[in-house]
Chains A and B, each alone.
Chain A
Amino acid sequence: MKAFNQHTGIAAPMDRANVDTDMIIPKQFLKSIKRTGFGKNLFDELRYLDEGQPDQECTGRPLNEKFVLNQPRYKGASILLARENFGCGSSREHAPWALDDYGFRSVIAPSFAEIFYNNCFKNGILPIVLKEQEVDQLFREVAANEGYELTVDLEKQCVVTPSGTEMAFEIDAFRKHCLLNGLDDIGLTLEHADDIRAYESRRRQEAPWLFDAIK
């Protein structure tokens, strides 16, 4: 997994609640068997005026000029500002893959859907929960200032605005540790292989019907 420590970049505001993973990456792109290449189809239905197809070249497609990521001032954005319940719906990890491939390193929202939140960490993207008033403030500031950049500091657990305001956020100690160090959690879990085997032999006594049934 990619490590994440500190990042400064342009913030782009996605001003709607309940943005679901179908919206982040529509289903036709889920047919890919790869993890990469989803960035050009991030928010496909909002971003383009036509219906996108997998494996299609996107450079000539008609753009929805109104969509936030198509506005020149948000070009190169790497921090997404979002509203409540971001990432709800399907568990598709293609959603963080698409955000990552597009260039987003962090998403800031008042709340996230759990599976999406979890999936972000596996892909080196930092999802940050701030208070609703703080998110409101960021939305106001980003609208008022072209080229508005935020700094996201995982070590210090805060978001820093251009005027120097620091907004603190909470994060699980385990997730923070893994993300800071870019650790592969399969490797970490396999360090406990003895515990897993011990559990299995105990469980086999208690509930033998759970083993060797599916074949």
Chain B
Amino acid sequence: MAGQTLYDKLFASHLVRSNEDGSALIYIDRQLLHEVTSPQAFEGLRIAGRKPWRIDANLATPDHNVPTTNRSGGVSEIADPVSKIQVITLDENCDDFGILEFKMNDVRQGIVHVVGPEQGATLPGTTVVCGDSHTATHGAFGALAHGIGTSEVEHVLATQCLITKKMKNMLVRVDGQLGAGVTAKDIVLHVIGKIGTAGGTGYAIEFGGEAIRSLSMDGRMTICNMAIEAGARVGLVAVDQTTIDYVEGRPFAPKGEQWDAAVAAWRDLVSDADAAFDTVVEINAADIEPQVTWGTSPEMVVGVNAQVPNPANETDPVKIEGMKRALEYMGLQAGQAISDIHLDRVFIGSCTNSRIEDLRAAAEVVKGKKVAATIKQALVVPGSGLVKAQAEKEGLDKIFIEAGLEWREPGCSMCLAMNPDKLGAGEHCASTSNRNFEGRQGFGGRTHLVSPAMAAAAAVAGHFVDVRTLGNH
């Protein structure tokens, strides 16, 4: 019999029961909650007169709606009344049910997917869910993590379980070493460009190979975060010493004897050498260039030195139509050089790229330089209050501010523009977030997804430039 994949092991160790019809009940170790997808779930619990099954498996924080400007006045100062109600509702629900919440002005508040790992709530070998598709992020720890809908949030609150079906296994192996100036973000955008936004549908994708093994946990989280943009609900990276070192000493991580037992168990969280994958995708790290998306789907991506593709070179009519529509929405011409795309705003943040290493990479590029005069706004939004504090300790805030970028409070911000940070119609934005859908960052806004270093370089130049030519590397 072939060995087991990491996903197989995680699934097996959480199986509560399997039914004849192929569905399975799996146990959920951690649920992260935020204000947008939880109110209707709590309401459902109340209507049915149910209580949460296990309070200590949940952790909450508001992130999508919170303002990123000075918020010393607390929730009452959220200008948008509808946003305010949503944040207050989360506070009340957590207070009522006794769930631990990092409220808006808690230094531990931040984007759920930054906060979970940072606190050691996300641990190797756990199942993690959240009413948010980027829950795939936590798979970087060898955890089975995926996004769920609000009805399922309620289901997990009430039963600590999820009804699911086993996925197929895909291995994306990135061999060799990345070139200087090429990052985790470029790997994942490259993978999405290669397999398409539905390429991973039905699969749990494990990312492996030398290039992935050499990444830090921050980089691995960036990659797993965007598994969903490749259609996969689950992204995974096997546990190694890098994982264990990151987790050690985090507030909710095991301590003492339990730590030793946990580490011993976690060592097995790798795919067996003879494990069978349903699909294997092989990529050579040396082939990956800094990536820039030109269209309205993350698969519409090319290297920074390429041109905007021409629909005339395609054969599939649905694809041609999609490309034409994207070019029109983005206001771009086929054949135009990527470096000729002029930018109005720059956004460095989101659960994809708002951790400390992302901020360090961006700061390194802008240090001693100035944001181009044509850029209306360049925002840096740390992923959590603790990331912000760390960055300030290292003086990164000063580097950004001196270069003309704005240094903000943590939250989702311009990733999806539910708070006041948004693009105007027709504006082009170099963004370190994960989705370039129409209207995602503001009505009529035009998003180009890039790495933090590339976003920083674009802020200085006013248009896209190959960060490798700037001499920082």
- Give residues in A with beta carbon < 8 Å to B: 15-18, 20, 22-23, 26-28, 30-35, 45, 51, 54-55, 83-85, 88-93, 96, 111, 113-115, 118-119, 122-123, 172-174, 177, 185-186, 188-190, 192-193, 195-196, 199-200, 203, 206-215
Contacts and interface: CB of A to CB of B under 8 A. Distances in A.
Contact of A91 (B83, B148, B418): B148
Given A30-B418, A119-B151, A174-B163, A212 B56 contact: yes
B197 A18 contact: yes
B438 A22 contact: yes
B181 interface: no
A141 B125 CA distance: 50
A90 B435 CA distance: 9
B50 to A, nearest CB: 7
B43 interface: yes
Interface residues of B, number: 84
B183 interface: no
B152 A189 contact: no
Given A30-B36, A118-B149, A214-B57, A85 B83 contact: no
Nearest to B233: A114
30 contacts: A17-B321, A20-B437, A22-B416, A22-B438, A23-B438, A26-B443, A27-B417, A30-B64, A30-B418, A31-B65, A33-B40, A85-B198, A85-B201, A90-B416, A91-B132, A114-B233, A115-B233, A119-B151, A172-B22, A177-B21, A185-B163, A189-B158, A189-B159, A192-B16, A207-B125, A207-B265, A210-B123, A210-B126, A214-B100, A215-B56
B149 A122 contact: yes
B427 to A, nearest CB: 14
Given A118-B149, A209-B262, A200 B82 contact: no
B433 interface: no
B84 to A, nearest CB: 9
Contacts of B56: 211-215
A189 B290 CA distance: 47
Contacts of B322: 16-18
Nearest to B84: A31
B262 to A, nearest CB: 5
Given A174-B21, A186-B50, A210 B29 contact: yes
Nearest to A45: B439
